[in-house]
Structure 1
């Protein structure tokens, strides 16, 4: 069974060009002169690369005497990409924003200026002998993938699958006006918090039910089914996993929490590391927090990070401070 998968990938590029490299743009009579930036893989994905080019058009083209800036995407077949990007030359107050769907490798560009004006000191394109072009944005990558059952671990006994089919479940969990039932002993076995609740003699024990207000019914249903067997749940989204991590932390389900941390670590990349970090902080998931911290340190100087502004402010401040620390080998 296949499904369409979408991935958001941040892209950014800072390109400084020496004036002598630009001089060829003013060569008269040439049809087209190009200057290319380096090519960069999107989130280290070898299937997708991006770059910027500057074109100067000569007498044989309808755009003669003009300079254009292009954004280029190069990728394999079977992928569709929606690119949202902004190209800026700050010193000349030039900005070009584009949103375009690429179904094949292609370049998209915009008029920048008359080529002669590119070299005019009053226009501000070249400052101290350099032209600086910046680009940032993100790619929404869409491709077809094979869907498979998602597991957090293999330690759960398959006999629990048969228990789930039984009609003698004796404890209800309620949220959003809906309820799911489970065996008390299964809940007590999986969670010390549920065990204490069930044996407390309080309202929950007497009524054999508990209302949970800080998680959606969908997350509670997934968490309870996972107490029996992972095949009862099937595929889960990254957001589901982060919510489940919080559930496992609150109800002290350590084996589940450890398995899920390993699962999330394996899925960590530049598009989700900030959200995973926040989830780790909320859920007291030390292993996930440590891995995310190391990943972020490695990204700070090498590639753009998606949703950095969403990162917990205190954590982000400490991260930036630590980036300047000396490291002893």
Structure 2
């Protein structure tokens, strides 16, 4: 009896260790976006998906993460007397790209983004609250496709959720002109047959969602180690030597040291601390206007 209990305890302990290890491995790769200050005294006119009033920058960042924002406009509390509304944290579903053409001057706000290096996102397409993507239509094998994505500051796309698979499948359908509309994604079982992983090492077994097409993955075809996404919202395995388009997902990035916005140059800052420069400018502007009015009335 004691031997049976000991075996049972050992089994339960081993199962617990495996469960904890599995959960830890899955949690390692949870996306936790970091936001960078891209522009002082400016805000983005990209549509706001949510907004609130916060007392500090860190709370606005956390609110943005909770709302799946890719960027945000933030105005510190000391600017409240100069704003036309109380909400000082504006969450954006898409970030500025290219030359920041929808940034507008606003002395009470600063613009923050998870994609601070605008030059790396010049040819990207935003899928709201998910990320920035690009399709390389030139056909290559899997390894070459991986390199092509890396050359533009991206990696083969993650599709391990229903919302990602559905939106990215639509993107493939809308963009590719071939009758067979598929593209390589960041999923394969090259290292271990049947054990599919993303390019950052996350196991498919850590995720509940699956979108395999009928008959896939095909166990009889053991040389089909790479995965594509098609225009019908399905994953399919193919030979890694197949030459196909590539679906790339851009890496979040910090701003360059010097960012050129048309005819205005700005030295990039980190997201640490709040900005008081714009408020000082506003106070100075108001003071100069008051002095001008007094001089005008006196004359």
TM-score (norm 2): 0.28
More helix by share: 1
For the pair shown, the structure with the greater C-alpha radius of gyration is: 1
Which structure has more relative contact order (CA 8 Å, sep 6+)? It is: 2
More strand by share: 1
TM-score (norm 1): 0.26
